[in-house]
A = this chain, B = another copy of it.
């Protein structure tokens, strides 16, 4: 088989596209089919990759709308690119070969949150933060917490298997997905799983669907597992004297049998960027933020305090249980995005992941790569998971080839350490050139066969990583 890196296919023939748009407008009504400038807000995502515009944006308001759209697209053989919140970082929602953006942000609403079942049933257009708020109000807890939680939507969370800091203890979105209603690429309605908290009955296709980035089908209803809301949360900001010192402290915390919900890291260069915006304690050069859920967390605070006070790498420790004081401890992390924009015109943020114990070694790799290619970098992320957000920064376009070389070196170093191209953002179009370096030909062929079973004509999200040559449709 050919792999995912071959030349992109032709886009749809204009006559087929025009006919398809007429059919869509007739079937859905003109208010749901946008063309021209009205498409623009739905034609981009939160990635920096170039892409042509779609031929139309369909605003689906029901499962029937989704099914009708996919059936018409199959009939006229034109691409469909599903999109929910549009906060993806990898270009997975970009219409690389034109066709239809199938927008599910109007297919919204929390259908049910059940305290008895400890489940939530939502539509793909629900904003994650709204689900969090609704759960909290009922004393319930949905752990996944990607940093875009104020705008990202559950449809996209499932499509990318979104993570976030709490994934360390609780796992990513897939671990919380109990069921999903899908319209497959072939236009069939598929109800997978349901509200039971566990299941060993046939192939658990919902778990394959999670992380499939809109290449298998479109979620129209999502059932999620919840937990009771932990009564208390303890946040501990641990200022360390150096990057290697912070890595050592993180390892010491885990070896001492603490189980934080999250264990975040900001390297020295990241701290330098926010140094002007916040109070950084004297001698504090790198930062760990650990968070613990439970009750009686003061016992954890005391034991952790005792442990940390004996470590020479630790400079200052701040701990808080009160929500507003906890939020203040997260301030450095929250200030990061804006502060970074002030020091650079361009940045690319990757989310490579390595086996946890290799995170320190990957930091060394990044330093070496930055030096070799003369590219500024800063790294922060999920130290507990070995999932690091490596950022390369540049100001002038003539630096870009060096950034590209550094990116290539980063991905190769990650894979050499037994890592993966993405911990939580997905592949999209961003990482297609390295996909075959992570996934063997046997695996890619099997993935392509699975794609073909869900999407026989290859209309969903063509030209991206999935499906090998099958996905590289020629229209």
Contacts and interface: CB of A to CB of B under 8 A. Distances in A.
Interface of A: 114-119, 139, 160-163, 167-169, 171-172, 174-175, 184, 188-192, 194-205, 207-208, 210-212, 227-231, 251, 254-259, 294-300, 303, 353-358, 382, 384-387, 418-427, 431, 435, 438-440, 442-443, 446-447, 449-451, 453-454, 465-466
B211 A208 contact: no
B257 A229 contact: yes
A424 to B, nearest CB: 5
Contacts of A298: 296
Nearest to A303: B295
A387 B426 contact: no
A310 to B, nearest CB: 18
Given A171-B175, A194-B418, A294-B294, A163 B200 contact: yes
Contacts of A231: 257
Contact of A466 (B203, B296, B382): B203
Contacts of A386: 117, 196-197
A211 B200 contact: yes
Q: Which are the 10 A-B pairs with shortest beta-carbon distances? A: A116-B357, A296-B299, A296-B296, A449-B453, A195-B355, A207-B207, A117-B355, A228-B257, A117-B357, A196-B353
A443 B205 contact: yes
Contacts of A196: 353-355, 385-387, 418-420, 423
Nearest to A229: B257
A318 B161 CA distance: 41
B422 A356 contact: no
A205 B163 contact: no
Contacts of A438: 201-202
B440 A195 contact: no
Given A188-B442, A449-B453, A198 B296 contact: no
B259 A230 contact: yes
Nearest to A467: B203
Given A167-B198, A191-B440, 12 more contacts: A161-B200, A171-B198, A189-B442, A194-B418, A199-B422, A200-B211, A200-B423, A201-B435, A202-B443, A203-B211, A230-B257, A446-B454
